[in-house]
Amino acid sequence: MGQASIQVTPPAVPAEKVTGPWRDAWKAFRKNKTAMLGLGIIVFFVLIALLAPFIAPYGFKEQELVNRLKAPSADHWFGTDDLGRDMFTRILYGARISLWVGFFSVIGSIVVGTFLGILAGFYGKWIDMLISRMFDILLAFPSILLAIAIVAILGPSLQNALYAIAIVNIPTYGRLVRAKVLSLKSEEYITAARAIGMKNNRILLTHILPNSLTPIIVQGTLGIATAIIEAAALGFLGLGAQPPDPEWGKMLSDSRQFIQKAPWTVIFPGLSIMLTVLGFNLVGDGLRDVLDPRMKN
């Protein structure tokens, strides 16, 4: 007489106990108070950038010469500039420009730098030599001077400033990815993938690229802060956003002659730049502590 088999169903794992590398990283990130502060600052500026048309009490181009250089008041919370434009409104719209330049210049740098870094690190030989020498040439110039030269050639504009910032930061991500690929391609699972006949393109997409994302994410977050500063520097020199666009660096440049007479025209744009850069730096440091194995105990 046969004996009936008994199947035992394993107990379901509660949703809150399900773990994974990204879930664990988020839990560790949330425990970092300074990183969460930085995230809060970033979310705040992103929200005011998105909601600027609904929050702003005036148009950013709207001029009232009779109210020029007015101190902060109930009508103008951050005062007015030398053309009678509301500073609070221009700060809100300026967040759009600075964040837009920061995000998209870094995305461009990451895409091109990652592609070149993977080619150099994975294939090596003359490809590595050619790409590495190109990186060395770009890194031989101070980034801001190279950005100024590029914008001077292309012409002053916000879009050209974005291109310049993206170009000067390509070597940073390219060399970072190249170093990571050099360490990854000697791993046993890469050797095993080649042994079973996996093509190079598939190895790059399924093994090399996913395992190279961690340093890119950390450096990219820190790079946004750098890009915002560079955009402000180009705007200050008149090579970035052109009037009447309310870019924070350009606002500082236009207000530097009124530092003593109307200090609020300098304080609020400068404070906005400082807080935004601080937010991205705090988040970048927090991500490095969470994602970099060398930072873990």
Short-list 209, 217, 163, 207, CA closest to 187 = 207
- Tell me the per-residue pLDDT of 149-172, one tens digit each, with 9 for 90 and over: 999 898 888 899 999 999 999 999
**Residue 14 included in any domain:** no
Q: What percent of the chain has pLDDT over 90?
A: 30
**170 falls within a domain:** yes
CATH number of 166's domain: 1.10.3720.10
pLDDT of 29 reads 80
Query: How do residues 254-264 score in pLDDT, each as one tens digit?
Result: 888 888 888 98
Tokens of 4: 């009936």
Residue 11 falls inside a structural domain: no
Look up the pTM and report it: 0.83
Mean local confidence (pLDDT), 64-85: 87
230-121-26-219 Cα dihedral, nearest 10 degrees: -10
In a domain, 15, yes or no: no
In a domain, 23, yes or no: no
Q: What is the mean pLDDT of the chain?
A: 84
More confident residue, 194 or 238: 238
Boundaries of domain holding 152: 31-52+80-292
pLDDT tens sequence across 90-112: 999 999 999 999 999 999 999 99
What pLDDT digit, counting tens, does each position of 205-252 carry? 777 788 788 888 888 888 998 999 999 888 888 888 888 888 888 888
Domain annotation covers residue 181:
yes
**Rounded Cα–Cα distance for residues 289 and 34 (Å):** 12
Q: Could you tell me where the DSSP H helices lie in the chain?
A: 21-30, 33-50, 52-55, 87-123, 125-139, 143-154, 158-184, 188-195, 200-203, 209-211, 213-236, 248-255, 264-291
* 59 domain-assigned: no
pLDDT at 1: 47
User: Is residue 66 a part of any domain in this protein?
Assistant: no
* Number of separate domains in the chain: 1
